[in-house]
Amino acid sequence: MENIALTEAVFYILLSLDEPLHGYGIMQNAEKLSNGRVRLAAGTLYGAINTLLEKGWITFVPGDSGDRKKEYVITESGRKAVFAEIDRLRELVENGEKLTGGWNK
Amino acid sequence: MRKVIKKLFWAWEYEKEEKWLNEMAAKGLALVDYSLCRYSFEPCEPGEYKFKIQFLEHRTSHPESEQYIRFMEETGAEQVASYLNWVYFRKKAAEGDFEIFSDIESKINHLTLIKKVLLPIGYLNLGVSVMNFVNLAFNFPGALWVPFINLACFALMIFGVHKIQKKINILKKEHAIRE
């Protein structure tokens, strides 16, 4: 796994896609998970989804093609990316808390 | 009752154009159609809609653009008009904020797309201007003013590119420290 920092949009898209969702479902889920803080705009989401499809971190849900809304789901490599990101974030939080412990707030 | 207003915005002024459309919507006039400098409005509840304009990589009739517009419509936006690569979206204000991009990189990419279209138009005009100037100087000196029209177009495009580049630079600086 490459050592990269995911964008907030990508992280929440991947987290949302344990179950199949369409674009609007991802937007709603990200907003819910972050208590309203993360509001993915549709254009940003669309770009991120296409990049994730190209990377193979998410895939279309097979079956219902045609004019129905497209649904996406996370893949194995997508899950690996999420775990790697959580490790990275944990390091950030641990170092952040350790080193700011004595700071005046 | 349809109201038509003629107004000119340059490509690099699309944010100003958006602002104007939102002001019109706040007054109770919603954009329903657009073609070259002609804006058609129909009455709406004041503040019922929010408007956004986007420049797409391809013409709006291109399959990739159609796919994107369908995606936008699935998220509650509605296409009200399109012109060349430009799409005009509206969304019910009751559904909350209406933004197309929520990260800096997408905003930079959008502006870069517009810049990449203006630059060749500018250089094409410069080329035509020089060629005509040489040609006319030898063959038809009386019409030597003609190349200056193309030269003016070149200058205008370069001005537009400069305006967009300034916006891109501000965003890039910001992007160096955050998403």
Q: How large is the ipTM?
A: 0.88
Quick check: B64 contacting A, CB < 8 Å? no
Task: Give the pLDDT band of residue B56 (cuts 50, 70, 90).
Answer: very high
Q: Chain A neighbours among B 36-55 (CB < 8 Å)?
A: 54
Residue scoring higher pLDDT (A70 or B154): B154
Segment B44-55, tens digit of pLDDT: 999 999 999 999
The predicted model gives B141-163 an average pLDDT of: 94
Distance CA(A80)–CA(A102), nearest Å, equals 35
Q: Are B101 and B110 in contact (CB under 8 A)?
A: yes
To the nearest whole number, what is the mean pLDDT of chain B? Answer: 95
CATH 3.40.50.720 fits A8-100, yes or no: no
pLDDT band of residue B43 (cuts 50, 70, 90) is very high
pLDDT at residue number A4: 83
Section B69-79 average pLDDT: 95
**B72 to A43: CB separation less than 8 angstroms, yes or no:** yes
Which percentage of chain B shows pLDDT scores above 70?
Answer: 100
Q: Where are the domains of chain B?
A: 3-95, 104-175
The count of C-alpha atoms lying within 13 angstroms of the C-alpha of A52, restricted to the half-sphere facing its C-beta, is: 30
Q: Which of B71, B100, B179 sits opposite A23 (nearest CB)?
A: B71
- Give the residue from chain B lying closest to A43, CA to CA: B100
- Asked whether the predicted pLDDT for residue A89 surpasses 90, the reply is yes
Residues 6+ apart with CB under 8 A from B88: B21, B31, B34, B51, B52, B53, B79, B80, B81, B82
Chain A residues whose CB is inside 8 A of the B100 CB are 41-44
Band the pLDDT of A105: cuts 50, 70, 90: confident
Residues with Cβ within 8 Å of residue A75, at least 6 apart in sequence: A56, A57, A58, A59
Per-residue pLDDT at B97: 87
User: How many CA atoms lie within 13 Å of A15's alpha carbon, on the beta-carbon side?
Assistant: 20
Q: In B28-145, which ranges are continuous DSSP H helix?
A: 63-74, 104-139
Mean pLDDT of B20-41: 96
Domain boundaries, chain A: 8-100
CA distance A32 to B109: 28
What's the pLDDT tens digit per position in B107-126? 999 999 999 999 999 999 99
Q: Which positions in chain B touch A51 (Cβ < 8 Å)?
A: none
Global pTM reads 0.91
Neighbour-count burial of B48, counting CB atoms closer than 10 A to its CB (0-12 exposed, 13-18 middle, 19+ buried): middle
Using alpha carbons, list the distances in angstroms from residue A83 to A27, A50, A76, B24, B165: 21, 21, 11, 48, 38
User: Average pLDDT in the A94-102 region?
Assistant: 92
Residue of A nearest to B178 (CA): A7
Taking only the tens place, the pLDDT of each residue in A17-69 is 999 999 999 999 999 999 999 999 999 999 999 999 999 999 999 765 555 67
- Amino acid at residue number A8: E
- What is the predicted pLDDT for the residue at A67? 57
Chain B: residue whose CA lies nearest to A7: B179
